[in-house]
């Protein structure tokens, strides 16, 4: 068989394998799928311990109706919720590090990996002093580094086998002169010294974890993102720098509000990321986030289109989302269209009504990522 004929046959097989996503409003589309590099589909939940979140019953059995093999906790396990002093890990309700343990036990019991958002978070490190310990006069740069390092050490001693860690959440949306990044070296020689230095701390105390960073506004090669002009070039530059410093094992795009992003531009962005050699995750995949009045049919169509691009690329290792899967559990964010299960009738009973999207996911995901 000639090489040309072989290539023609490969293209024919790939073409036949690509899913055709239906647009009906009252049916779940067919789920014949291509081969894929996708290793996990993850869900997002929380023990319900931080201020502003609806306290549904825990453990969250409703999440387990989704075909997940990875779980991310929203906020209750994050440093900015747990650490209140140099060696004080109280959590917002005095439970300290226990939410992390709860999530680990939850994941182990249900054969899911745990992706822990345990490091820096741009949103919580601004001048408003939302890091509790910083607001409580942590003081100079060296103290900030010492206190934060104490946090990492404390968690590593309690839970040394956390498998996946996001150690820097939305770094491109934080200024190098912010007190926290500045304490860790600011831009420095590489342009990202502060991220490297945080990564080295996590690498030291969690040597077996897969470390990553994530951000938004990177998911297109063009300026067709609802979150603003694309930051893809900056993100790729950052990833290459972190890779050279050996402080990154995966990179994440959040995936919010991508309904205006063309499939071609999304696919091209994924390919540019693939060229870095660093595995790509979609960490908070939430099309139509923050919109109101979105029909189930529209939500389904965008999930199918965008997930189809990601999966058919063969370059996306995992997809996690939406950030808020319950209608009643918004985590303090109101008026959005994250949710794919409506639990308003009786949230404490862990019962809910599937949308077209969740029905589709329940039939679609198990065919490519079987639960073991």
Write down the pTM of the prediction.
Answer: 0.87
pLDDT in tens, 54-75: 667 788 889 999 999 999 998 8
Indicate whether 16 belongs to any domain.
no
Domain assignment of residue 79, given as a range: 34-367
Q: What is the mean pLDDT of the chain?
A: 84
**What is residue 210's three-state secondary structure?**
strand
Indicate whether 50 belongs to any domain.
yes
Report the alpha-carbon distance of residue 249 to residue 202 in Å, rounded. 12
Report the alpha-carbon distance of residue 277 to residue 179 in Å, rounded. 32
Q: What is the pLDDT of residue 27?
A: 39
Beta-carbon contacts of residue 314 (< 8 Å; ≥ 6 apart): 35, 36, 37
Q: What is the pLDDT of residue 188?
A: 97
Indicate whether 10 belongs to any domain.
no
Report the alpha-carbon distance of residue 227 to residue 256 in Å, rounded. 8
Q: What is the pLDDT of residue 59?
A: 87
CATH number where 362 lies: 3.20.20.80
Q: 2: burial class by Cβ within 10 Å (0-12, 13-18, 19+)? A: exposed
Indicate whether 166 belongs to any domain.
yes
Number of domains in the chain: 1
Indicate whether 294 belongs to any domain.
yes
Spatial contact of 69 and 38, defined as CB atoms under 8 Å apart: no
Indicate whether 200 belongs to any domain.
yes
Structure-token pair, residue 360: 């589709």
Pick the closest to residue 339 from 281, 283, 290, 282 (CA basis): 290
Indicate whether 162 belongs to any domain.
yes
The full length of the chain comes to 372
Indicate whether 84 belongs to any domain.
yes
Q: Which residues of the chain have pLDDT under 50?
A: 1-35, 127-129, 332
Residue 282: DSSP 8-state: E
Q: What is the pLDDT of residue 6?
A: 38
pLDDT in tens, 227-249: 999 999 999 999 999 999 999 99
């Amino acid at each position: 068989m000639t090489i040309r004929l072989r290539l023609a046959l490969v293209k024919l097989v790939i073409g036949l394998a690509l899913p055709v996503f239906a647009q009906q409003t009252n049916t779940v589309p067919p789920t014949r799928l291509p081969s894929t590099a996708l290793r996990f589909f993850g869900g997002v939940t929380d023990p319900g311990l931080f201020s502003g979140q609806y306290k549904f019953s825990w453990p969250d059995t409703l999440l387990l109706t989704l075909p997940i093999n990875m779980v991310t906790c929203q906020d209750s396990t994050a440093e900015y919720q747990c650490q209140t002093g140099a060696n004080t890990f109280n959590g917002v309700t005095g439970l300290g590090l226990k939410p992390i343990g709860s999530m680990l036990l939850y994941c182990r019991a249900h054969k899911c990996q745990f992706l822990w958002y345990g490091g820096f978070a741009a949103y919580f490190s601004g001048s408003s002093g939302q890091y509790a310990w910083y607001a409580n006069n942590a003081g100079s740069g060296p103290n900030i580094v010492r206190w934060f390092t104490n946090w990492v050490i404390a968690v590593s001693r309690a839970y040394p086998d956390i498998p996946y860690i996001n150690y820097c959440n939305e770094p491109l949306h934080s200024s190098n002169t912010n007190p926290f990044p500045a304490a860790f070296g600011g831009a420095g020689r590489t342009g990202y010294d502060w991220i490297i230095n945080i990564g080295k701390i996590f690498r030291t105390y969690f040597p077996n974890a897969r470390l990553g960073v994530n951000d938004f506004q990177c998911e297109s090669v063009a300026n067709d993102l609802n979150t603003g002009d694309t930051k893809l070039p900056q993100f790729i530059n950052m990833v290459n720098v972190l890779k050279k410093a050996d402080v990154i094992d995966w990179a994440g795009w959040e995936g919010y509000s991508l309904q205006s992003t063309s499939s071609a531009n999304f696919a091209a962005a994924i390919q540019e990321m693939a060229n870095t050699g660093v595995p790509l995750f979609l960490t908070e995949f939430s099309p139509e986030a923050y919109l109101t009045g979105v029909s189930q049919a529209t939500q389904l169509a965008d999930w199918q289109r965008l997930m189809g691009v990601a999966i058919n690329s063969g370059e996306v290792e995992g997809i996690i989302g939406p950030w808020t899967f319950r209608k009643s559990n918004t985590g303090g964010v109101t008026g959005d269209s994250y949710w794919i299960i409506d639990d308003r009738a009786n949230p404490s009973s862990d019962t809910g009504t599937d949308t077209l999207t969740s029905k589709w996911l329940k039939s679609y995901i198990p065919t490519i990522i079987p639960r073991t």
